[in-house]
Structure 1
Amino acid sequence: MSRSRVSPGVAYLTRGLLSVIFPTASSVIIIGRLACLQNFPVSPWLLSAMVWGAMPLGFAAYIFVDEILQRRKATRLGARLVPRIQGRWPGNLDKLVNVILTLEVEYLGQPVLDEMKELGPTLNYRCLWEDYIVTTEPQHVQTILVTDFHNYVKGAKFREAADSILGTGVFNSDGETWKLHRTMTRPFFTHDRISHFEIFDRHANRAIALAKDRFRMDMAIDFQDLISRFTLDSASEFLFGHCIDSLSVELPFPDNTLQSTHTKPGPGDNAAAFTNAFSQAQHAISRRVIIGAAWPMIEILADSTARHMKVVDKFIDPILEAALARHSTAAKLEANETVEDQTFLDHLIKLTSDFKVIKDETLNILLAGRDTTASTLTSAIYLLAMHPEILSRLREEIISKVGPTRMPTYGDIKEMKYLQAVLNETMRLFPAVPFNVREAVHDTTLTSPEPEKKPLFVPGGAVVVYSVFLMHRRTDLWGPDALEFDPDRWLDERMQKYQLANPFIFVPFNAGPRICLGQNFAYNQMSFMLIRLLQNFSAIALSPEPAMCPPAWWTEKDGRQAIERFKPRNHLTLYAQGGMWVKMEAVDDVEVIQ
């Protein structure tokens, strides 16, 4: 399906020029006509210069009036403005430039955290005179996701930034369109479907075999790459009934080996290209959101997602077209095909034949089914490698409940409390979606972090970002050991003291009407893979490649930044820049822990 050839920058510039040229030209014509009627000896060129020269003053007046109106609206609601970052350049342009330039070298979220140390847990970047409110307050998260849900939407700004990738899918829509996609998707994620583990087992065994082959060569693997392939193949078979087969491509070699430049091609090369292109497209969304409404000016020559989405389209379109063709020839499900036999794609095609609707929803769910799970499992392996005592304890639970070789069942996973604690603690420190975006529809308020002060005013149209990544690490919410990886906090008195007392301090899957439909699917898949991994491997050690290692100056900082041994980054989801290179120690298949 063809995509628009007009770059976002051209469209944005056209709108901007029209909004400037028409009023200006009209003013020149009107003043010129008046001058002629009154025999006023003023040159048209002088009139033009006067009008164009007035534009900066007019813009300054607009900013001034907008400031006054905001303060009046806030006063009317008994509120105050959100504390604003004060940059040295107009429109806090220096702050925006600094954020963009430091994305590749700073610890994830650190620039925001530094500002919050001065201004508190809720602040306004106010970049280029647009309100860009960032919060880590659990009561604000509750308001945004639940109590005032209808006033906090994805909004036109995010929708425009993500449209070329996510279209009108469930993660990029509001109102009736969102309800339609949600209604179409929800019935597929039933208990019976998400507890069928045969697909997981087949791809887990294949991934583990690839890892063992590499370890026999005494070489490390990029676990992030391996687990992304596992989740992609599992998700594609679960959703499409068509395995993308990314595990058929040879794993990358460490950079310091001769083989690193001689990776053999395989039948899954197209899948690898799709994966890389989809990831790069998500980076583009992230850049657009950070830059704000002026992002099209950065893409004045071309849409930065276009070439990546061509690769995505080339890969995904034939799969969807084949499914539509099969359905159109059958007119309805075959008599011997039960509802349980349907794939997610079959389910969608039964509901609509609109190719764009099907494609948008498919890409949205594939993103959720692959990237978020892969992100959490990558973080889990990293943390287990950093904490071998926790790995040993988890492995003991796995062997005692499931044994050294048996495939786990849904019932096994439900009984494994320490496994769930490990996953929860992983998602607390490294949530798969570190930052999320909403847009306020109407003027409203958020409760003040300081009870003695007035509420915070949120103007209609403001972008509101809530960061669970930063919120999950707050010591005032989680205790003095909030930055430590300690699964026991989910099993001892700290659970009652912190999380149960304030449930919105932990929302890795969102909450309210937009809570993740695949939450249980993700828990099951992550649990299943960790069980299979620790049935096969007794120890994990980091084997950092240069591209994975943080800058040396991180060790001079405080908090987790000082101890981290990889570079957490995010586009729409969190990932490890440079990969997550590890070695694992395989166990005998018949080993039994006494």
Structure 2
Amino acid sequence: HIHCSPYCIMASSLCRSSPKLTHPGRCRFSGSHSGRSSSSFRRIRLLCKVRCKAVEKPASAPSSPSSSSSDVAAAEDPLDGDDVDLDDLVFADALTGVSDKDGAGATMVSPDWLTSLQRNWGGKADLPVADAKVDDIAELLGGGLFQPLYKWMLESGPVYLLPTGPVTSYVVVSEPSCVKHVLRSYGTKYIKGTISEAGKFLFGVGVALAEGEPWKVRRKAIGPALHRKYVEVMVNRVFGPSAIKMVAQLEDITQSNKPVVDLETKYSQVTLDVIGKAVFNYDFDALNKDSPVIQAVYTSLKEVETRATDLFPFWKLPEELNYVISPRQRNAQDSVKTIRNVTDELIEKCKAIVAEEEAVGGAEAWAEQYLNDADPSVLRYFLAAREEVSGEQLRDDLLSLLVAGHETTASVLTWATYCLAKNPESLATLREEVDRVVGDKPAPTYDDLRSMPYLNRVLCETMRLYPQPPVYTRRAIVDDQLPTGESIPAGQDILISIYNLHRSPDVWGPTSNDFNPLRFGPLDEPPPNETNTDYRYVPFSGGPRKCPGDSFAMMEAMVVLAVLVRSIDFELIDIDKIRMTSGATIHTADGLNARVSMRQQ
């Protein structure tokens, strides 16, 4: 059918089966989902169904009292009995609510818009427009936004327009001087915008997504908590013991009948244990028992990403209504509740301990104990500082550290392991350095880390290829002009694609997609950052909103990776089939499954 065939093609791409047109104005699908997102598949089927019903019947099928479109529709409905939730109904509702200027019944997401986005853009003639094809939309629905953004950059250049509806759009930025300009202009020309709105249900008033004056106040409070002495203590007291515990478990697995393990899961567990001790002085013991926090964090972050790119923001409906009639929203809200309950419980436990210690030794004595690093957790730092903040503010700040600090480092370790498995010569070089510097010690010390530049570069190169997160959002608050000349009106949303920037052939040359830890220069030079690369490399963002925990995250990853490679050999299963997906950070689609064995010296 002329009006719905693009949707049939899209659904075919999603389920890898050929659509069968059974009637004019009707379409039906066969075949399996083939691992694609069932919700995406269901939406495309619903889209086809609604689209076919919304258009006039073709001349080849004249209406008659005995053969109406409703009669045909009733004959066989592939969606009958499907569990269609609010997400789908709102999606379908919007599709049938907009007609084109000729009154032909075109929907908000019409074939014209899906296959030629440029037709719906009436401004910004100086910007090339992403030429999104059906396959790109299918990939977007089934995977991560960052992947089609890269394809469009190669086609359209480092600054282009991505329309997301009849009147909405993103300007996608992947050029170093433009990235530098936008990131450094936070607060004067740009704010976080879309991501702050989409993530408020999770982060609340916490520092991660706060804007304006509240952000300035919270950033000033949190920054000193992550001081150098704190990180040094974490290396010896938390990072090392946690990594040793993880590797001990892997050693046990090597002796089992089936020495196969999902290393991505192990990294999520160990980084949760680390962040629990570092922020709350609490041991989640995630390595030994299932923690609901890990899945809750992933689900919540995935929802943040989905909300930020949803064509129809149905999530803005009242939470109570969403909870009742939308399974996805119910799952997201339950996940946030899990994280908040854990955070609240840990805060109350710490307050009770502090109150007891103060009763015994006095407030001044307790503060001195903190300064002597008896317990350098971030929570105790806040309590020692006697900050006048609400319980909600304290919880949301700590929740921000818990969620962001756990998920990102686990993803970096996952992809570092993948890169080393694909590049055995780099793994051999790394092991030589770790053996030489660490020696017989069970884990590297703070001083050892400063003597392992190749380990640092392995992680830097991993974050170049797999930045966490791969995309930042900003919104212009004044009219602006990018260094490359493009005009940005106030209110325009920006996608800063770090994934594009870090893999751009224009920036990194023909080997931009290759793993090469030595690409940043001699090992005796400072490691790369946004300043000394002039914003060609920004894994921790830049400008006022640069991640305050960059040193913490880097040293945690260095310790865990060093302890792993000096003891364990790993062979990734079906390494060439490992695919990327995203839930705010870049994950594997099916885990990082590996055969592990004791390292052969």
Does residue 571 (structure 1) correspond to residue 583 (structure 2)? The answer is yes
Output aligned runs, 1:122-201, within 5 Å: 122-128=159-165, 129-147=167-185, 150-155=188-193, 157-196=194-233, 197-201=236-240
Deviations 1:245-269 (A, max 9, x none): 11112xxxxxxxxxxxxxxxxxxx3
3-state DSSP of counterpart to 2:564: helix
- The answer as to whether partners of 2:186 and 2:545 remain within 8 angstroms in 1 is no
Q: Summarize the alignment of residues 100-139 of structure 1 with structure 2, pairs less than 5 Å apart.
A: 101-103=138-140, 105=142, 109-128=146-165, 129-139=167-177
Contact 2:186 2:544 in 1 (8 A): no
Counterpart for residue 500 of structure 2: 470
User: Number of paired residues?
Assistant: 472
The 1-side partners of 2:296 and 2:509 are apart by: 41
Q: Which residue identity lines up with residue 421 of structure 1 in the other structure?
A: R
Cα deviation per residue 1:166-196 (whole Å; 9 max; x = unaligned)? 1111121111111111011101111111012
Paired letter, 1:171: A
Residue 321, structure 1, aligned to residue 348, structure 2: yes
Alpha-carbon distance in 2 for matches of 1:245, 1:531: 21
CA distances 1:405-433 after superposition (whole Å, capped 9, x unpaired) = 44312221112121111111111111121
Q: Distance in 1 between matches of 2:152 and 2:500?
A: 12
Q: Quote the residue 1:230 is aligned against.
A: 270
The whole-number CA distance in structure 1 between the counterparts of 2:355 and 2:447 is 39
Greater relative contact order (Cα 8 A, min sep 6): structure 1 or 2?
1
Give runs of aligned pairs for residues 66-465 of structure 1, distance below 5 A. Answer: 81-85=126-130, 101-103=138-140, 105=142, 109-128=146-165, 129-147=167-185, 150-155=188-193, 157-196=194-233, 197-217=236-256, 218-249=258-289, 269=290, 272-292=291-311, 294-296=313-315, 301-302=325-326, 303-304=329-330, 305-327=332-354, 330=358, 333=363, 335-336=365-366, 337-339=369-371, 340=373, 341-349=375-383, 350-448=386-484, 455-465=485-495
Does the Cα contact within 8 Å between 2:143 and 2:581 map onto a contact in 1? no
Instruction: Give the whole-Å Cα distance in 1 for the aligned partners of 2:121 and 2:513.
Output: 41
For 2:309 and 2:270, the matched residues in 1 are separated by 31
Distance 1:176 1:317 in 2: 25
Letter in 2 for 1:525: E
| AA in 2 matched with 1:338 | Y
Residue 472 of structure 1: how far off its partner (Å): 0.7
The alpha carbon displacement at 1:285 in A equals: 0.9
Letter in 2 for 1:160: E
SS of the residue 1:541 aligns to = strand
- What is the CA distance between 1:373 and its match in structure 2? 0.9
Q: CA deviation at 1:490?
A: 2.3
* Structure-2 separation of matches of 1:535 and 1:311: 36
Given that 1:107 and 1:567 are in contact with CA atoms closer than 8 Å, whether structure 2 keeps it comes out as: no
How far apart are the structure 2 equivalents of 1:441 and 1:70? 21
Deviation at 1:108, TM superposition (A): 6.5
Contact 2:240 2:444 in 1 (8 A): no
Contact kept, 8 Å, 2:144 with 2:582, in 1: the verdict is no
> In the aligned structure 1, how far is the partner of 2:196 from the partner of 2:312?
11
Listed as ranges, the gaps of 5+ residues in structure 2 are 1-85, 98-102, 107-118
1:466 counterpart letter in structure 2: I
What SS does the aligned partner of 1:171 have?
coil
Q: Is the 8 A contact 1:161 1:288 kept in 2?
A: yes
Q: 2:260 is aligned with what amino acid?
A: A
Distance in 2 (CA, whole Å) between partners of 1:209 and 1:291 is 43
1 or 2, which has the higher helix percentage?
A: 1
Q: Does 2:546 align with 1:521?
A: no
Instruction: Give the equivalent residue in structure 1 for 2:516.
Output: 486
Secondary structure of 1:248's partner? coil
Matched residue SS, 1:503: coil
What one-letter code is carried by the residue in structure 2 that aligns with 1:362? L
CA 222–386 in structure 1, closer or farther in 2 if over 3 Å, else same = same
Letter of the structure 2 residue corresponding to residue 227 of structure 1: Y
> Does the 8 A contact of 1:82 with 1:458 survive in 2?
no
- Go from structure 1 to structure 2 and tell me whether the alpha carbon gap of 1:147 and 1:107 turns closer, same or farther (over 3 Å shift): closer
Q: For 2:552, give the aligned amino acid.
A: F
Tell me how far 1:98 sits from its aligned partner. 6.5
Residue identity opposite 1:110 in structure 2: Q
Amino acid at match of 1:393: T
Distance 1:246 1:481, change over 3 A: same
Secondary structure at 1:150 match in 2: coil
State how far apart, in whole Å, the 2-side matches of 1:586 and 1:579 are: 21
2:9 aligned residue? none
Alignment correspondent of 1:506:
537
Distance 1:165 1:465, change over 3 A: same
What is the deviation of 1:347? 2.2
Q: Do the aligned partners of residues 403 and 348 (structure 1) sit closer, same or farther apart at CA in structure 2, a change above 3 Å counting? A: same
Report if the CA contact (8 A) 2:230-2:376 is conserved: no
Q: Work out the CA distance in 2 between the residues paired with 1:70 and 1:171.
A: 35
Q: What do the CA deviations read for 1:483-542 (whole angstroms, capped 9, x no partner)?
A: 11111212359x99x9988421100011111111111111111111121112212x3210
Change in CA separation of 1:293 and 1:181 when aligned onto 2, cut-off 3 Å: farther
Contact 1:235 1:370 in 2 (8 A): yes
Larger CA deviation: 392-401 vs 114-123? 114-123
Q: Classify the secondary structure of the residue corresponding to 2:396.
A: helix
> CA 1:242/1:352 → structure 2, altered by over 3 Å: closer, same or farther?
farther
For the structure 1 residues 334 and 202, does the alpha-carbon distance in structure 2 shift closer, same or farther, using more than 3 Å as the test? farther
Partners of 2:597 and 2:180 lie apart in 1 by 44
Alpha-carbon contact 1:108-1:568 (below 8 Å) kept? no
Q: Distance in 2 between matches of 1:379 and 1:216?
A: 25
1:113 Cα deviation after fit = 2.6
Contact 2:253–2:596 (8 Å) recurs in 1:
no
CA distance in 2, matches of 1:403, 1:137: 43
Kindly provide the amino acid, as one letter, of the partner of residue 416 in structure 1: M
- Decide whether the 8 Å contact of 1:429 with 1:472 is kept in 2: yes
Q: So what's the TM-score if we normalise by structure 2?
A: 0.71
2:561 paired residue among 525, 530, 549: 530
Q: Is the 8 A contact 2:259 2:596 kept in 1?
A: no
- Note the alpha carbon deviations across 1:132-156, whole angstroms, 9 max, x for none: 111111111101111565211112x
Cα distance change, pair 86–398 in 1 and its aligned pair in 2 (3 A): closer
User: What secondary structure, in the 3-state scheme, does the structure 2 residue paired with 1:415 have?
Assistant: coil
Match of 1:170, SS state, is coil
Distance in 2 (CA, whole Å) between partners of 1:293 and 1:368 is: 26
- 1:83 CA displacement: 2.4
Aligned residue for 2:160, secondary structure, equals strand
SS in structure 2 opposite 1:310? helix
Displacement after TM superposition at 1:236 (Å)? 0.6
Quick check: 1:70–1:459 contact (8 Å CA) kept in 2?
A: no
Question: Could you say if the C-alpha distance between residues 397 and 104 of structure 1 is closer, same or farther in structure 2, counting changes exceeding 3 Å?
Answer: farther
